[in-house]
Amino acid sequence: MYHATIDPDARTLTLTERRPDPITGEEREVTINTYQLNGSPLETDFVTRSISESEDGKIHLELEADAITDLASPRADFWDEVAATLGIEYRHGNVRLNDEKSAAQNYRDFVRFLAERDYLTTEDLPIALPSATNRYIVNNAPYHQDGSEMTREEEVAEDVYIDVNASADTIGRHIKALSEQLVPA
């Protein structure tokens, strides 16, 4: 039996299952995956057994299915690989940086990861946040949209520059924006 929690604010569905703990043998809730909801229906053979809403506004479903492979998506697979390789996680609509590294190092590693796996090519550059009017988050030269030099530029791959002069929250938003722009849903 699977359980799903829909967070309407983050537009995510987190799928869990009760499994025995390999050490203690006690059953515990294990997250199978978190899926970004984009408004399209899920094409699965789930049977809903129960629906409830918690005080925090999240919707909880108890589901039954033979397999969950139909829910796999390129972006979910991408974030699984990022978590395993870099320790950066995407959960409930937010990026969680690897606490063992600085925010700047997380950013360097993530953009390098994108470039090494051809999610990011020089043809994609420059990249700005949709709301940005003067700054690039990634460029092929150490300059921003307005022509100013990046404050703490880093060349993370050949002709791929980022400005690491940003807070951890800002870097998390940049990582999320890059994944949304470059990784197929």
Number of domains in the chain: 2
Judgement on whether residues 60 and 97 belong to the same structural domain of the protein: no
Judgement on whether residues 34 and 104 belong to the same structural domain of the protein: no
8-state DSSP, 177: H
Judgement on whether residues 34 and 82 belong to the same structural domain of the protein: no
**Could you read off the pLDDT of 33-69 as tens digits, one per residue?**
777 666 544 545 566 677 778 787 777 777 665 554 4
Q: Which domain holds residue 149?
A: 74-182
Judgement on whether residues 149 and 165 belong to the same structural domain of the protein: yes
Distance of CA 4 to the CA centre of its chain: 18
Using the 3D structure, point to which of 49, 71, 93 is the last residue of a domain: 71
Cα separation, 87 vs 94, in Å, equals: 14
Task: Determine how β-strand 2-7 pairs with β-strand 12-20.
Answer: antiparallel
Judgement on whether residues 12 and 95 belong to the same structural domain of the protein: no
Cα separation, 144 vs 81, in Å, equals: 30
Output the pTM of the full model: 0.62
Judgement on whether residues 60 and 80 belong to the same structural domain of the protein: no
